Amino acid sequence: MRVAIVDGYTDEPAGLGVPPYMDVYPRYIAGAAKTADPGGEVRYFTIDGLRGDWAGSLRLLAGFDVLVVVAGITTPGKYLAGTPITYDELVDIGRIEGPVKILGGPVARYGYGLEGGTAAVPPGRFKRYYDLVATGDVDLAVYEALKYGVERARPSALHEGYGLVDQFAVRGAFIVQQHPNFGINLVAEIETYSGCPRYVSGGCSFCTTVGYGAVEFRSPEAIAREVEALHKAGVVHFRLGRQADFYAYMAEDAGREDLPRPNVAAVERLLSGVRSAAPGLETLHIDNVNPGTVAKWPRESAEVTRLLLKYGTPGNVAAMGVETADPRVVKANNLKAMPDEALAAVRLISSMGSARGPNGMPWLLPGLNFVLGLPGETKETYELNKQFLQRILDEGLMVRRVNIRQVLVFPGTRLWPAARKLEARLRERKRLVHAFKRWVRRNFDRPMLERIAPRGTVLRGVVAEQNYGGGTYARQPGSYPLLVYIPLRIPPGTKLDVAVVEHGFRSVLGIPYPPPAGSKRLAKYLKKLGGASSAPP
């Protein structure tokens, strides 16, 4: 049996799969295929890799027995190294004749959405094009389709525990070698648990993660076995990002408490196990921290933070869904933390993690997520958001980045019945939204970048990703890496060190360090470095 996996990319509250990040979906699917049919062939394609010759790619895919498409953007962002699959591309692939066609990922569970401030296209729209739309776990659907036939595969089937998942994860690790970023800056997303601890209270009004059900934890040993398999396959960059709240991993009160007490011992078993399984790793980062957890359990959260400093690598980011600094909006949408609690969480992580690491970046900083357009929002909400950010600046704290998005409403969430009303309200407040974004970029982001990476800071191990005009965009591998513009054309995939020269709103300008001798183009930047407040070592 020949199986093709088309990665249309995924981005969820708990999981990222846009290059250079590879989410769990294609790896689990590859493992499911190999478990059901050990002698079968499994090929992996990215949607970007297929676009160069679209007609030829469709003919190529038609030659497989089974065609699995994974896609779904539920937390839309701006992407440097990949463009998620479009609705028309999903339909084009669905019209291919010959293979059994399976659609999975968030697009099959929640629908198609790509832009905030809109309602998603329901997943049922794709049933006319695909033989199976996996509204449950797509890897399980693929396993059943290959083992028992597509007629007996259950589209809505969900894993009961992690028994099969842990097998699929190890057996599917080989597929990373077919990713275009393999051997360069590929970051493997790792799942530590499914569901959300706040499932007991219904979770945030807009979030899709609660739709995955009650929390189910993976054991530290199973995670270590997957990491070992990935490391043996050649992966050196890891992100423990597939969970709603890293600090709640293996929390004993999960399922009973909305904000369970962190299990420090379990977190240490997890992190030490990953380190032992991948002794040659270069990056170990996380994603997703509930500010409410940190505020409610400061002592335990401080211990977890110390473990991240002990076992992790610098440049790490604890992204926190603050969503709003308006208490009324927090209550109306059952959000994670009140503004004072969110600020307490920022203080704790910033104060402990702001020391600079050997790669030039602080070890561990908070990141902030804001969602605009939620029920209860008023003009005052935007002023409260500004005041919250200004307090962070005034207190001398560090925040790696602020992510601002407009709510994207999906079927199955509590906001779905009000989707059209919320869309209309965001259209009415378009100027207010843009004004807030401009304020953040000019008054918060740039001063914060100057604080995080002062002029003269040397960033080690930056990877050139994309040429633009006469220059190059580059980043370090990891969670929310700092975007660097280099005013020279450097071949993508090149690894180099850069010295920070100038600061933009969301990126920095840097030059190779040490700079190439006799470069006239870099002369003016070298003059600026001469007066750097933090000269290169």
What pLDDT score was predicted for residue 534? Answer: 43
Backbone angles phi, psi at 244, to 5 degrees: -75, -35
In a domain, 72, yes or no: yes
Q: Based on the fold, state whether residues 56 and 114 are members of the same structural domain.
A: yes
104 lies in the same domain as 42: yes
Predicted confidence at residue 38, as pLDDT, reads 98
Band of residue 537 on the pLDDT scale cut at 50, 70, 90: very low
The confidence score (pLDDT) of residue 80 equals 95
Tokens in use for 21? Answer: 């990040």
* Residue 384: predicted pLDDT: 98
- pLDDT at site 121: 87
Q: Is residue 170 part of a domain?
A: no
Q: What is the CATH number of the domain that holds 448?
A: 3.80.30.20
Q: What is the pLDDT of residue 505?
A: 94
Nearest alpha carbon to residue 352 among 320, 317, 309, 299: 309
What CATH number does residue 501 fall under? 2.40.50.140
Q: Which of 152, 169, 196 delimits the end of a domain?
A: 152
In a domain, 130, yes or no: yes
- From 404, 427, 452, the end of a domain falls on 452
518 and 421 in one domain? no
State the pLDDT at residue 419.
87
Q: Is residue 418 part of a domain?
A: yes
Residue of 191, 159, 184, 146 whose CA lies nearest to 27:
191
Query: In this predicted structure, what is the pLDDT of residue 117?
Result: 60
> Does some domain include residue 70?
yes
Query: Do 424 and 446 meet the contact criterion of CB atoms below 8 Å apart?
Result: no
Place 122 in a pLDDT band, splitting at 50, 70 and 90.
confident
d(CA 393, CA 443) in angstroms, rounded, equals 9
Q: Which of 417, 452, 487 is the last residue of a domain?
A: 452
- Of 37-46, 68-77, 119-128, 144-153, where does mean pLDDT reach its minimum? 119-128
Question: What pLDDT digit, counting tens, does each position of 420-477 carry?
Answer: 898 888 888 999 999 999 999 999 999 999 999 999 999 999 999 999 999 999 999 9
Residue 235, both tokens:
């992966």
CA–CA separation, 155 and 142 (whole Å): 9
Supply 507's token pair. 């990126």
Q: What is the pLDDT of residues 57-67, one digit of tens each?
A: 999 999 999 99
Total domains, the chain: 3
pLDDT recorded at residue 134: 98
Task: Say yes or no: 434 and 488 in one domain.
Answer: no
DSSP state of 442: I
Residue with tokens 């953007």: 73
Query: Are 256 and 113 part of one and the same domain?
Result: no
One domain for residues 434 and 462: no
- pLDDT at site 536: 43
In a domain, residue 420? The reply is: yes
Lowest-confidence segment of 55-69, 107-121, 299-313, 383-397 by average pLDDT: 107-121
Q: Is the pLDDT of residue 530 over 80?
A: no
pLDDT value of residue 535: 41
Band the pLDDT of 533: cuts 50, 70, 90. Answer: very low
Q: What is the pLDDT of residue 119?
A: 65
Amino acid at position 264, single letter: V
- The boundaries of the domain holding residue 122 are 2-152
pLDDT tens track for 294-346: 999 999 999 999 999 999 999 999 999 999 999 999 999 999 999 999 999 99
DSSP 133-175: E-SS-HHHHHHHHHHH-GGG--TT---SSSHHHHHHHHHTGGG
Domain annotation covers residue 537: no
Cβ atoms of 172 and 191 closer than 8 Å: no
Do residue 142 and residue 227 come from a single domain? Answer: no
Q: What percent of the chain has pLDDT over 90?
A: 86
Percent of the chain residues topping a pLDDT of 70: 98
Q: What is the reported pLDDT for 56?
A: 99
Q: How far does CA 530 lie from the centroid of its chain? A: 37
Instruction: Assess whether 127 and 271 both reside in one domain.
Output: no
Q: Does 164 reside within a domain?
A: no
Is pLDDT at 524 greater than 90 in this prediction?
no
* Amino acid type, 48: D
Task: For residue 522, give both structure tokens.
Answer: 């870099």
- In the predicted structure, residue 263 carries a pLDDT above the cut 80: yes
- Please give the Cα distance from 478 to 487 (Å, whole number): 23
Q: Examine the domain organization and report whether 349 and 480 are in the same domain.
A: no
Alpha-carbon distance 337 to 446, whole Å?
A: 26
- Looking at the structure, tell me whether residues 482 and 392 fall in a common domain: no
| CATH number, domain containing residue 40 | 3.40.50
User: In the predicted model, what is the mean pLDDT of residues 27-40?
Assistant: 98
pLDDT, tens digit (0-9, with 9 covering 90-100), for 473-503: 999 999 999 999 999 999 999 999 999 999 9
Residues 441 and 477 in one domain: no
Is 281 in the same domain as 226?
yes
